[in-house]
Structure 1
Amino acid sequence: MAFNPAVVCLLAACISASLAVSSKISEKYPPLWEESPGQVSDYKVKNGKYIINIWNYSERLGMYKILLNQTAKYFEKFAPENEQNLLWGLPVHHGWQYHTGRLADPTQRTSCGKESGDRLCLSVDSWWADVNYFLSIIPFLAVGEAGIIGISPDDVIFLPPPKDQKNFCYNTSSCHSSFPEAMKKWNEFYQHVKSPSSSFDDLLKYVWAAHFSSLKIAGKNFQSRSKYYSKPEAEFQRNWALFVDYLAPPRFPTTLVRMNEFQKGLPPRILVSRDKGPIIKDLTGFQNVVLLLLNFLHKVHKYTGTLSFVAWKTLMKLKVARKLFLEIMEYILQLLI
């Protein structure tokens, strides 16, 4: 079964930037990381329950901070300062979404997420905020079930969005009932996190399986949100979701430094109708290349009827292939950055 080498080039171009080294870990934290809650007791309490407004950027970011803090002891054997914690991919990408304005109301009907309104507000009409919802609440509930954060997830109440409440789950029972596969995969990941015999590669395998399960939910439920965006941004969302599917088989390490360097290839603002490739003037050359190749990946995937993805998954089952892939990334980094 042949695999189009252009797809490898796409993945290489985007991921290779992840191999750079940072001298100061704290410079890589997402926006408002230090100010966000770091433990469950930092949230408001009502009737003995902790209240989390998951539609507020700082409070959602605080959920990630708790995950990172409470799982740090399990990753300390891999590197100091919790830098190799594989959960960093979640808050770092969420921080990019916030910084680039992608969590704000795309309909322009409210000031949610806007500089002129509540900048911390996460709009339920934002495709990015909705997709991220299932990459925040399910990992958080599952870590509570795993006994890692020291409290029962039933002691936490998540505030619903102002509309479309039926599209989301809010506690362990409703998430298990509505999205059993995702809850199962995240629970499996945390059980392997707690196991002293788990290798770094093992944990990569399970965190990507869990991540993929959450994205499947969002992919089915929020396609209609694309109507609120320009054609270039909607295409970027579609292509980005597909690209993340391709990231899972090679088990890209979602560590703090690698995620930060990786995201240098992503557009630093929402794309608008006038943004026509292959050159968008206020984007870097690397970002233009990434957008071009993401679109090419979509075309290959569509043309082959997912054959390219099947071939890619088959190839990446080999440890030597995954290792070689990351080595190729490092080489291409020197050419593009």
Structure 2
Amino acid sequence: MASISLHCVVIGCILLHLAGASPLSDAYPPLWKDCPGQLSDYKVENGKYIINFWHYLERQGAYKILLNETAKYFEKLAPENEQNILWGLPVDHGWQYHTGRLADPTQRTDCGLKSGDHLCISVDSWWADVNFYLSAMPFLAAVDSGIIGIPSDNVTFLPPYKDQMSFCYNVSSCHSSFPEAMKKWNEFYQHLKSDSNSFDDLLKYLWAAHASSLEVVHKNFHNRLKYYSKQEAHFERNWALFVDYLAPPLFPSTLIRTHNFLKGLPTRVLLSGDRVPFISDFTAFQKSVLLALNLLHKVHVYTGTLSFIVWENLMKFKVARKLFLEILEFILHVFD
């Protein structure tokens, strides 16, 4: 029980500001209005839509199309598609862009730099590579599931300039290279199209697909961490671990909730001189989040993953998830 209580405190600390209300216009990802909103906004070659997933606007545009095409399934929950649980993906990607985490960490090019090609997404960026699996697969699975309304072979992605074998570029290649992840995303969309599924059911399938994508990523791009400071690499590992813990409670990744959650994350790449919590340009909330992530990592390592197994099994019970979220709401109101 002590371990469970500790996890509630740690994750509760991280989610302190989720309940605050924000205007929808403030919650949209950076440059959202400039992103393509329909497939006809992309180039067409040999009857196929060509998307450059190494350009911020074009990758976000794929998310925008996905949000537009799935809006009808969430319209009964809230106006302006705010309760669409796919919002977590583009909002997180927008934070990556805004904080410079899509830029070339080797500093050999100006890709992603504010003073250079700021819309470029670097294949050397750990964040960009992780996000590829959480953007390409959801989008292509939506195409494959009939959500987008085009034949499965009518869209393809441009490859990066290197490490082409680490990625997939169309429905068939993603199915061939990452069958389990594509299967999970397809299952999510099939249940999305069914009126019989509850909001919690959809979250369950979404998080199962999300976790399946991340399982592929963790082993493929570990070598990217060498390009970052020790502090940023540590944050990357801690963040990936935290997302693992966030899945079992079925965190509702809606627009406002995700936007408010990201207020607690670092607003720039961590440098070698940064020492938590003594980072003058971070808010108290952001420093608290970093401390909580460090604590979560230590507990996870100390228990040999037993803490996660206990947490995962506990969160299988609806009453436990409900209680956990109610505790979070209480903490949010206390510390707001």
- Measured against the shorter chain, the TM-score band is over 0.9
Per-residue CA deviations over 1:50-105 (Å, capped at 9, x if unaligned) read: 11000000000000000000000011121111000000000000000000000000
Distance 1:171 1:251 in 2: 29
Query: 2:116 and 2:16 mapped to 1: Cα distance?
Result: 37
Secondary structure of the corresponding residue to residue 156 of structure 2? strand
The residue correspondences of 1:12-27 to structure 2 (distance < 5 A) are 12-22=12-22, 24-27=23-26
* CA RMSD across the alignment: 1.1
Letter paired with 1:44: K
In structure 2, how many angstroms separate the alpha carbons of the residues matched to 1:195 and 1:99? 36
Shift of residue 4, structure 1, vs aligned partner:
4.3
* Residue in structure 1 matched with residue 264 of structure 2 by the alignment: 265
Greater shift, 120-129 or 146-155, is seen at 146-155
* Alignment match, 2:313: 314
CA distance in 1, matches of 2:255, 2:41: 24
CA distance in 2, matches of 1:207, 1:235: 27
Give the Å deviation of 1:324. 1.2
Distance in 2 of aligned mates of 1:88 and 1:4: 29
Find the aligned partners of 1:323 and 1:16 in 2 and give their Cα distance: 17
Deviation at 1:335, TM superposition (A): 4.0
CA contact (8 A) 2:264 2:285 kept: yes
Give the drift of 1:117: 1.5
Contact kept? 2:184, 2:208, Cα under 8 Å: yes
For 2:165, the equivalent position in structure 1 comes to: 166
SS of the counterpart of 1:51?
A: strand
What is the rounded CA distance, in whole Å, between the counterparts of 2:156 and 2:251 in structure 1? 33
Cα offsets for 1:129-182 (capped at 9, x unmatched): 000000011001100111111112311120000101011111111111111110
Query: Structure 1-normalised TM-score?
Result: 0.97
Residue 249 (structure 1) aligned with residue 248 (structure 2) = yes
**Number of the residue aligned with 1:34:** 33
Alignment of 1:168-317 (within 5 A): 168-317=167-316
CA contact (8 A) 1:239 1:298 kept: yes
Question: Which residue in the other structure is 1:150 paired with?
Answer: 149
SS in 1 for 2:262: helix
- Report the CA distance between 1:246 and its aligned residue: 0.2
TM-score, L = length of structure 2: 0.98
- Distance in 1 between residues matched to 2:308 and 2:113, nearest whole Å: 38
Q: Distance in 2 between matches of 1:330 and 1:17?
A: 9
* Superposition deviation, residue 280 in structure 1: 1.3
1:115 corresponds to 2:114: yes
2:153 partner SS: helix
2:15 partner SS:
helix
Q: d(CA) in 2 for partners of 1:27 and 1:214? A: 29
Aligned 8 A contact 2:19 2:333 in 1: no
Is the CA contact (8 Å cut-off) linking 2:4 and 2:311 kept in structure 1?
A: no
Task: Quote the Cα distance in structure 1 between the aligned partners of 2:335 and 2:276.
Answer: 18
1:220-263: per-residue Cα shift (whole Å, max 9, x none)? 10011000000110000000000000000000000000000101
Report the count of equivalent residues: 336
Structure 1 gap segments, 5+ residues each:
none
1:16–1:328: 8 Å Cα contact kept in structure 2? no
Matched-pair contact (CA < 8 Å) for 1:17–1:330: no
Alignment identity in percent? Answer: 68
Distance across 2 between alignment mates of 1:21 and 1:238 = 30
CA contact 1:44–1:51 (8 Å) conserved in 2: yes
Q: State the Cα distance separating 1:2 from its structure 2 match.
A: 6.0
How far apart in 2 are the matches of 1:254 and 1:132? 16
**Structure 2 residue aligned with 1:98:** 97
Q: Match of 1:138, as an amino acid?
A: M
CA distance in 2, matches of 1:3, 1:115: 43
**2:245·2:308 contact (CA, 8 Å) conserved in 1?**
yes
